[in-house]
Amino acid sequence: MLRFLGRGSAFCNDNNCAFFAQNSRLVLLDCPMSAFHKLKTIGADALTGCKTEKITVLVTHSHSDHTGGIGMLVHFCYYVMHIPVEIIAPSSAVKDKLRFLLKELDGCREEGYTLISADEMQTGFTPVPTIHSPELAGQCFGWCFEIDGTRVVYTGDTATLDTFKDVLTDGAYLYTETASFDSAVHLRLNVLKEMLPELEKRGIKVYLMHLDDEDKIAKALPDVKFAPLYE
């Protein structure tokens, strides 16, 4: 399903970023600067397996380990790759922030990108509001969508899986964050651990992402797969 250009949390070198290809379109889930560097090095065509004609970025929330590379991606696609970038915000409030980032801070050429909010038009991607940073209350989301008829649920940064229960259907692929460091803003290892038998019973395939300490997490959850990195 998804592959990753990084699966680290905020203070890691390779911040979390997933991707998949829809024909000649490359879809990224968030775009930290580390993911932009990897994309540039690997080449978008290697990621899509064909001549890439468009890049879409689904944004979960505005923390810089999720949005820090979007401006550079827009510049690069405009000046070097000559392909359009479409940025899909999960809400109009997040869209306004991204507009400020791209237009006022990064000075991106307006003809180089489109910025839309998922509530403005049908995109095929459904934002799922969740709980993460209190400073960004109401502006943190995961995404739900289908790849070849299979449901994919991507939590983004979340303190809970309860907010995803309506979209987490039997047999879905769940990409969820977890953290070994105990905090109120990330999904605690023990909370996830308690939910695993039920998820497994329902045929939900769990992949861990946005990880702060892979060794600790692997010891605590030895049977759960890490999100697959693009190698």
DSSP H helices, 173-225, are 189-201, 214-220
Give whole-number Cα distances, 17 to 52, 170, 171, in Å: 18, 25, 23
95 binds Zn ion, rule: CB under 5 A: no
The residue range among 55-63, 78-86, 162-170, 200-208 that interacts with Zn ion, by the rule CB under 5 A, is 55-63
Stretch in the footprint of Zn ion (CB under 5 A) among 8-16, 83-91, 93-101, 211-219:
8-16
Tokens 């943190």 — which residue? 140
- Among 63, 75, 95, 151, the residue binding Zn ion under the rule CB under 5 A is 63
Cα dihedral value 64, 18, 131, 122, nearest 10: 100
> Any contact of residue 65 with Zn ion (CB under 5 A)?
yes
Asked whether position 186 contacts Zn ion by CB under 5 A, the answer is no
Q: With CB under 5 A as the contact rule, which of the stretches 21-29, 32-40, 56-64, 105-113 interacts with Zn ion?
A: 56-64
Nearest-5° angle of CA 210, CA 155, CA 112?
A: 85
Q: Determine if 30 is a binding residue for Zn ion (CB under 5 A).
A: no
In this structure, is the dihedral angle defined by the CA atoms of residues 116, 120, 122 and 128, taken in order, positive or negative? Answer: positive
| Binding range to Zn ion, per CB under 5 A, among 99-107, 113-121, 154-162, 214-222 | 154-162
Question: What tokens were used for 59?
Answer: 């944004």
Q: Which residue number, 7 or 95, has a Cβ lying nearer to Zn ion?
A: 7
Q: For Zn ion, which is the closer residue by CB, 157 or 192?
A: 157
The verdict on 157 binding Zn ion (CB under 5 A) reads yes
Measured from the CB atom, is 69 or 112 closer to Zn ion?
A: 69
Nearest CB to Zn ion, comparing residues 46 and 184: 184
Total number of residues binding Zn ion (CB under 5 A)?
4
Q: Using CB under 5 A, which of the segments 4-12, 76-84, 87-95, 197-205 binds Zn ion?
A: 4-12
Q: Name which of 73 and 140 has its Cβ closer to Zn ion.
A: 140
Three-state SS for 46-111 is HHHCCCCCEEEEECCCCCHHHHCCHHHHHHHHHHHHCCCEEEEECCHHHHHHHHHHHHHHCCCCHH
Cα three-residue angle 58-184-226, rounded to 5 degrees: 55
Binding site for Zn ion (CB under 5 A): 10, 63, 65, 157
